[in-house]
Structure 1
Amino acid sequence: MQNPLLESFSTPYQSAPFTEIKEDHFLPAFQELIKVSEMEIDEIVGNQEEPTFKNVIEALAFSGEKLEVVSGIFFNLNSAETNDEIQKIAQEVSPLLTEFSAKISQNLPLFEKIKKVFDEKEKYNLNEEQKMLLNETYKGFVRSGALLDDSDKEKFKNISIELSKKSLQFGQNVLAETNNYFKHITDEKELAGIPDAILEQYKEEAKERNLEGFVVTLQYPSFLPLMTYAENRELRKKLALANGKKSFQNNEFDNQNLIKEIISLKQEKAKLLGYENYADYVLEERMAKSPVQVKSFLNELLEKAKPYAEKEVDELKKLAKEDGIEEMESYDHTFYAERLRKQKFDIDDEELKPFFQLEKVQDAVFGLAKTLFGLEFKETTKVQKYHDEVKTYEIFEDGKFKALLYADYFPRKGKRAGAWMTSFKSQSIKNGENNRPHISVVCNFSKPTSDTPSLLTFQEVTTLFHEFGHALHGVLADTTYPNLSGTSVKWDFVELPSQFLENYCYEPEFLKTFAKHYQTGEVLPDEKIQKISDSKNFMEGYQTLRQIGFGLLDISYHSDSEKVGDVKTFEVEETKATNLYPSNPETMMSTSFSHIFQGGYSAGYYSYKWAEVLDADAFQYFKENGIFNPEIAAKYKVLLSSGGTKDPMELYKNFRGSEPKVESLLKRAFG
């Protein structure tokens, strides 16, 4: 069988040949490319010449390129366009890749060569990036068990394989629970308070299921508007319970035991390598160096933010009391927060949505990238796509091709919830040629209907800017080695570019350039723009507490795993200082906490708040000198294009002239 994944891509920019790829191409491609990559490693090991930086470290950095590309294609599809067959293949492929990775990291002759180059590094005239690559390569091997004896190496490999399987299963369970639930409503009166545009969306969903009336799902663009606008408290409660019960229903998709198995395996892995716990293992490679430092950082923010959060919730409780609600619950929060926001700022998301047509918001983000970094975007139809809804763009700088961008914006059955940036091909420089990256931005915005384009809530506007900030990190990458390129940075540094870009959404002079009514072209009135800007910190205390709660729960799972008995009890205990509403025994957040049990945020969820300190401090620098200041933009571009070639604190200080100050965040958040 001819397999396009095993051939050179003869597509524009060697982009993924999606229309030629069939599901049954994947497993044989992985099996063959693992063999090819193993041969490349054997070649490095078998080289009889004296080990050098070039024939060991550099050769290793560029090995397995094709395997990396195929992995990118497959796992991106598993997130954005999955089905039962792809999920089944993922369960077969993940252990193969983990085993292959373990084979490399525990290859003693290879490690001996790496160690020799590392020990003799002074004799090589290495530049900064080469030094970083050498250090990261050596450290990566040690952290993957290279110094373990044979018995422990085998244990380490088996633990890693089990972890990859269980993490995948966790995500598949959450996706199944999200897709399995829907609420069918035939009486429109039950949906009182919900705007017409959302009702239209619910009608379309019902039609797709061959049902009369309306259908609400747990997909974010369906679930959130109901929680925000539905006057029917019982309906809000039902949806909140359904959402909060995901993978916490003692059924085939229950994740409680999986959580315990995952954290236990992680703890075992860390102990094998000589660490006290998994958080110690992870944080050694982060800007925050220990669980103690993370907890101290989060608790300092908690102490400052909690009085503001309590005050905010007290205001909501007064509003709820006017409706006869004596005991406000968490499922009331979004509804009354929206009511208070309207009262304080006269802002209604549904009233604002016509001013935020998706295409115009995307144009604005493209325009901002041009102003700050000189990038030009041109839609192209010559690149193959994995779904008709995906749009593709060529990106140019000074007339030269810079990157390829895939934009995938609407929910589908085979697409996981949320928003993310990823890449199909990373940037690197090899044999004098700068191989440019292929970047993807994936979101879940409301689909256009027969008579209305896709219109975004303001929160969705900031989501697009957030993911595009990540995309710019990939697009601007300009490093030699793929494993130091783009977003390949310390995990608590990776959110700086994304959160930084969100700041522009609140700047009146910038908002005016794109917040225009999709029918009339009228610019969003000045007073509304001012109110958006003024409302930036609305419920900031509550949101901060919520993020701190997630961060504390995450760090506790990975530093105090022996305390986890009943998962629900553990969650309640670890988050009680941040909870301002009664805990519901029927719901749990942990069982759908994909960031830490499926994604890469284990012992790293705190990095969202950590990065907020960085982004507040960085944007303050722009604010003081002009938000489009070309000199500062040029310095920031250097930070983005440098990827992981330098220590992040050094990169930040080169840009800003000093270390970030937590006061910048507190000033922005609470004045």
Structure 2
Amino acid sequence: MTNPLLQKFNTPYGTAPFEQIKNEHYLPAFEQGIKEAKQEIDDITNNNDAPTFNNTIKALDFSGAKLSRISSIFFNLNSAETNDEMQKIAQKVSPILTAFSNDVSLNTALFNRVKEVYNQRKSLDLTPEELMLLEKKYKGFSRNGANLNDADKEKLRAIDTELSQLSLTFGENVLAETQNFELHITNEQDLSGLPEGTIEDAAQTAKEKNKEGWVFTLDFPSYIPFITYADNRELRKKIAIAAGKKGFQDNKYNNEKIVLKIVELRAKRAQLLGYNSHAHFVLEERMAESAEKVTSFLENMLQKAKPKATEQFNQLSEFAKKDGIDLLQKWDGSYYSEKLKQELFDFDEEILKPYFQLENVINGSFEIAKRLYGLLFKEVNNIEKYHKDVKTYEVTNENGEFIAVYYADFHPRPGKRNGAWKTGYKSQWILDDQNSRPHISIVCNFTKPTETKPSLLTFNEVTTLFHEFGHALHGMLANTTYPSLSGTSVSWDFVELPSQVMENWCFEQEALELFAKHYKTGKVIPNELILKIKKASNFLEGLQTFRQVSFGILDMAWHGLSPNSFDSDNVITSVKEFESEAFKSTQLYPDVPENCMSTAFSHIFQGGYSAGYYSYKWAEVLDADAFEYFKETGIFNRDTATKFKDFVLSQGGTQNPMDLYKKFRGHEPKPDALLKRAGLL
């Protein structure tokens, strides 16, 4: 059998041959990829020449390229286009990959060569990028068990293998719970309050499921408008509780034991490596530097937001009392927030949707990237796709030079996890004077077109698209020598800067006029609506900040646990009780006994945000300060944009992130810009 994953990709720009790949290709491809990667490691360790930067550090960074490519294809599709068979393959291959990763990081002979180069670093004539790569390679070994004795190395292997499988299962359970729920409505009166487009979308979903009436799901384009606009409070409660109890039900998808096991194993792993907690281990290599600094940052944000959040919650509660709601519940928050916003600002977000046709917003993001960075996007049909909904683009600069391949996947479907994310199928690097360009992808779950309307986005979906596009630009404009330092391979509390700063253009008249055009008439969004968007942008921001900080606090609570928290005398038995205790300082709404956030908190238990959720707020400080600079010089000022590209977007992880930021901005970020923007000053 010819395996397309093991052949040279004879495709435009060497893109993944998605249409030729079948499930049976993956396991043999992984086996061969690991075999070749092991040989490349052996070639480094068996080299009789003295260790040098080139024959050890550089060789190590470029090793395993085939395996890396196979892994990116498989695991990206396991998030965006999975099925039962792929999930079984993931469970099989994950421990094999973990074992290989441990084989590398615990390889004494390899570490000795790396250490020998590292010990000579001051006498070597290395560029800043080479020095950063050397330091990261050395720390990659020392922070992952290379200095452990053999018995502890085996313990580490066992922990890593179990963690990789638990994380996979956690995600599979959340996906299953999301897709297993549906709210089936047959009485038209129960649709009261819902926007026409949402009703039409629900009718289409029902039709696809061969049901009469309307079907609402936990996919965001269905769930968010229902919880925001449905007048029927009991139905809002029903769908809200369903969303809140994912992984927290008495069924085979329950994640409670998995959460407890993940945090226990992470704590024990940290202890094995000489750290007080998983948070201490993670944060040593972040901009924040320490768990104490993150806790202090979150507490500071909490104190700044709490008075405003409490005032806004009371305002919302008083407003809801006019409707006879004595106690505001979580399923009332979005509904009455929207009603209050309409009253205060004469502003209903639904009236914006006709101005945000998906295709126009995509083109708007491209036009802004052109004005800022000189990028040109051309949709092409000769690049293979993993699903017919995916759009593919060739990205060039103004000189016609190829920059990147860009995939965009916008709508929910079975087999696709919720949310929005940026990923890649190939990173950027420079080898033998050839600049090998990246293949970047964003995956979203936006409102689908219906039989009568194109895809019309909510304003939140517009900012989400720009957010993920910001991540994509960070990947596309990468210009580093080494693959492990390229693009978004930066500190997790720096990676959100390029994405969050892009959201700012969605609030600027000069930018909105480029793409916010009525899908029927083509008329540009009226100035009065733009003013309302800006005025409403701070609406209930205190509550929003409070909520986001609470998620960071929960994350730090789980990952700040010391290993003795799992001793028989101290053992945590209830995920719900632990979570409630963590949320105590941030609780405004009454608790919902049936709900638990931790059991579906995919960012920290499946994604890479463990002890890192704070970084969203941390990066907001950076992005608000950075955008102040754009506003001072002009939001399309090419000189400012070039500085941002040269010092932030193209540099990847080649330098200390704070140094990069200061080169762009001229000073460290000041939180005043964020507090001012959020109305918290």
- 1:664 is aligned, of 651, 658, 673, to 673
2:495 alignment partner AA: V
| 8 Å CA contact retained: 2:628, 2:673 | yes
Q: 1:77 maps to what in 2?
A: 77
Q: How does 1:411-422 map to 2 (within 5 A)?
A: 411-422=412-423
CA distance in 1, matches of 2:561, 2:139: 25
- 1:623 is aligned, of 631, 641, 646, to 631
Bigger Cα displacement from structure 2, 410-419 vs 520-529: 520-529
Q: What is the TM-score normalised by the length of structure 2?
A: 0.98
Q: 1:644 maps to what in 2?
A: 653
Q: How does 1:531-542 map to 2 (within 5 A)?
A: 531-542=532-543
| 8 Å CA contact retained: 2:442, 2:469 | yes
- Displacement after TM superposition at 1:505 (Å): 0.5
CA distance in 1, matches of 2:130, 2:530: 48
- Displacement after TM superposition at 1:623 (Å): 1.0
Q: 2:349 maps to what in 1?
A: 349
Superposition RMSD in Å: 0.8
Measured against aligned partners, the alpha-carbon deviations of 1:140-162 in whole angstroms (never above 9, x if no partner) come to 00111000011111111110010
- Displacement after TM superposition at 1:447 (Å): 1.1
- Displacement after TM superposition at 1:349 (Å): 2.0
| 8 Å CA contact retained: 1:329, 1:582 | yes
Measured against aligned partners, the alpha-carbon deviations of 1:319-368 in whole angstroms (never above 9, x if no partner) come to 21011111110110000000111112222222110100000001010011
2:405 counterpart SS class: strand
CA distance in 1, matches of 2:535, 2:339: 16
CA distance in 1, matches of 2:368, 2:559: 39
Q: 1:88 maps to what in 2?
A: 88
1:537 counterpart SS class: coil
CA distance in 2, matches of 1:102, 1:163: 13
2:352 counterpart SS class: helix
1:48 alignment partner AA: N
Q: 1:498 maps to what in 2?
A: 499
| 8 Å CA contact retained: 2:278, 2:561 | no
Q: 1:268 maps to what in 2?
A: 268
CA distance in 2, matches of 1:642, 1:559: 31
Equivalent pairs counted in the alignment come to 671
CA distance in 2, matches of 1:25, 1:347: 53
CA distance in 1, matches of 2:273, 2:639: 45
1:512 counterpart SS class: helix
Q: 2:214 maps to what in 1?
A: 214
Q: 1:325 maps to what in 2?
A: 325
- Displacement after TM superposition at 1:629 (Å): 1.4
Q: 2:201 maps to what in 1?
A: 201
1:445 alignment partner AA: F
2:238 alignment partner AA: K
| 8 Å CA contact retained: 2:469, 2:499 | yes
- 1:568 is aligned, of 566, 576, 581, to 576
CA distance in 2, matches of 1:476, 1:205: 39
Moved over 6 A (4+): none
Q: How does 1:10-25 map to 2 (within 5 A)?
A: 10-25=10-25
- Displacement after TM superposition at 1:560 (Å): 2.2
Does 2:561 correspond to 1:553?
no
- 1:603 is aligned, of 588, 608, 611, to 611
- Displacement after TM superposition at 1:565 (Å): 3.2
Does 2:631 correspond to 1:654?
no
CA distance in 2, matches of 1:370, 1:79: 30
Q: 1:363 maps to what in 2?
A: 363
Does 2:596 correspond to 1:577?
no
CA distance in 1, matches of 2:103, 2:415: 33
CA distance in 2, matches of 1:98, 1:233: 47
- Displacement after TM superposition at 1:59 (Å): 0.3
Q: 2:336 maps to what in 1?
A: 336
CA distance in 1, matches of 2:117, 2:327: 66
2:514 counterpart SS class: coil
Q: 2:432 maps to what in 1?
A: 431
CA distance in 1, matches of 2:652, 2:346: 42
Q: 1:487 maps to what in 2?
A: 488
CA distance in 1, matches of 2:553, 2:287: 17
CA distance in 2, matches of 1:122, 1:644: 20
| 8 Å CA contact retained: 1:508, 1:533 | no
Does 2:181 correspond to 1:178?
no
2:50 counterpart SS class: coil
Q: 2:116 maps to what in 1?
A: 116
CA distance in 1, matches of 2:508, 2:313: 27
CA distance in 1, matches of 2:40, 2:346: 63
- The percentage of aligned residue pairs carrying the same residue is 58
Measured against aligned partners, the alpha-carbon deviations of 1:9-31 in whole angstroms (never above 9, x if no partner) come to 00000000001100010011001
CA distance in 2, matches of 1:34, 1:426: 19
1:471 alignment partner AA: A
CA distance in 2, matches of 1:119, 1:190: 70
Q: How does 1:244-283 map to 2 (within 5 A)?
A: 244-283=244-283
- Displacement after TM superposition at 1:135 (Å): 0.2
CA distance in 2, matches of 1:132, 1:142: 15
CA distance in 2, matches of 1:345, 1:23: 53
Measured against aligned partners, the alpha-carbon deviations of 1:456-492 in whole angstroms (never above 9, x if no partner) come to 0000000000000000000000000000000000110
CA distance in 1, matches of 2:350, 2:121: 61
2:258 alignment partner AA: L
Measured against aligned partners, the alpha-carbon deviations of 1:544-576 in whole angstroms (never above 9, x if no partner) come to 001110000001101125264311011111112
- Displacement after TM superposition at 1:122 (Å): 2.5
- Displacement after TM superposition at 1:123 (Å): 2.9
Q: How does 1:115-134 map to 2 (within 5 A)?
A: 115-134=115-134
1:513 counterpart SS class: helix
| 8 Å CA contact retained: 1:617, 1:665 | yes
2:379 counterpart SS class: strand
Q: 1:301 maps to what in 2?
A: 301
Q: 1:470 maps to what in 2?
A: 471
CA distance in 2, matches of 1:134, 1:173: 39
2:183 alignment partner AA: K
CA distance in 2, matches of 1:6, 1:237: 51
Bigger Cα displacement from structure 2, 569-578 vs 608-617: 569-578
Measured against aligned partners, the alpha-carbon deviations of 1:408-466 in whole angstroms (never above 9, x if no partner) come to 00001010000000000000001111000000011001111122100000000000000
CA distance in 2, matches of 1:346, 1:254: 43
Q: 2:9 maps to what in 1?
A: 9
Q: How does 1:39-50 map to 2 (within 5 A)?
A: 39-50=39-50
CA distance in 2, matches of 1:292, 1:305: 20
Q: What is the TM-score normalised by the length of structure 1?
A: 0.99
2:95 alignment partner AA: P
CA distance in 2, matches of 1:297, 1:123: 39
2:215 counterpart SS class: strand
Q: 1:34 maps to what in 2?
A: 34
Measured against aligned partners, the alpha-carbon deviations of 1:274-296 in whole angstroms (never above 9, x if no partner) come to 00111000000101111111111
Question: Which ranges in structure 1 are unaligned for 5 or more consecutive residues?
Answer: none
Measured against aligned partners, the alpha-carbon deviations of 1:210-244 in whole angstroms (never above 9, x if no partner) come to 00000010111001100000000000000001111
Measured against aligned partners, the alpha-carbon deviations of 1:358-388 in whole angstroms (never above 9, x if no partner) come to 0000101001100000000000000000000
1:633 counterpart SS class: helix
| 8 Å CA contact retained: 1:467, 1:498 | yes
Question: Which ranges in structure 2 are unaligned for 5 or more consecutive residues?
Answer: none
Q: 2:54 maps to what in 1?
A: 54
CA distance in 1, matches of 2:122, 2:445: 51
